Amino acid sequence: MKKILLLAALLLGMLQNNIVSAQNTTAEKPAEPKKDTLLPYQKNPGLPAFKILEMDSTTTFNTYDIKPGKPTLLMFFGPDCGHCKHQMEKMIAGMDSLKQLQIYMVSFANPTPIKNFYEEFHLDKYPNVKVVGKDAEFFFGSFFGARAVPFMAVYDKHKKFVKKFESSATVQQLYEASRK
């Protein structure tokens, strides 16, 4: 009987060693590298440089040329988008509160619908609406991870990222973000 108990204890000890050894082996595997989930605007908080094809279809504006000193609003919109039109209506109604913002509007659409949007909202009346045009290189959506329009990004007077707005924002929210 002692031999059986001794043999059972020995087998049990060997089984425990194998379990501990297996646990140590899995714990010692090198960790897989973490997947980079940050979007470019999160890695680089500076105002991005990208090209906007203006409504005349020949002039290109580079956002690199935006001067510091005033806060900037980059707005990604669709000229036929109902939500974008509603956002624009809100912004126009509160444009006095937004006059400190330099507004640059970019779309994925062709210049003709963009021009129609520009004319529908009489954007030429607002000196702080600096450029309206096409994102010629489809930069905006991937840089900000924009999945819908309207999408807005506010930068401070030093050209540093402040806040993004996905889908819409009130005039008050845009004003407050521009004051930071």
pLDDT at 102: 97
| Interaxial angle between packed helices 82-93 and 111-120, expressed in degrees from 0 to 180 and rounded to the nearest 10 | 40
pLDDT at 155: 97
User: Domain 40-178 in CATH: superfamily?
Assistant: Glutaredoxin (3.40.30.10)
Is residue 115 within 8 Å of residue 121, measured between CB atoms? no
Nearest Cα neighbor of 97 from 171, 13, 38, 14 is: 171
Is residue 153 within 8 Å of residue 77, measured between CB atoms? no
pLDDT at 28: 61
Overall pTM surpassing 0.75 (yes/no): yes
User: What residues does each domain of the chain span?
Assistant: 1-30, 40-178
pLDDT tens track for 28-58:
666 666 676 776 667 778 999 999 999 999 9
Tokens 């090209």 sit at which residue?
51
pLDDT tens track for 60-97:
999 999 999 999 999 999 999 999 999 999 999 999 99
pLDDT at 29: 64
pLDDT tens track for 99-112:
999 999 999 999 99
pLDDT at 16: 57
Tokens 């959506």 sit at which residue?
141
pLDDT tens track for 108-147:
999 999 999 999 999 999 999 999 999 989 999 989 989 8
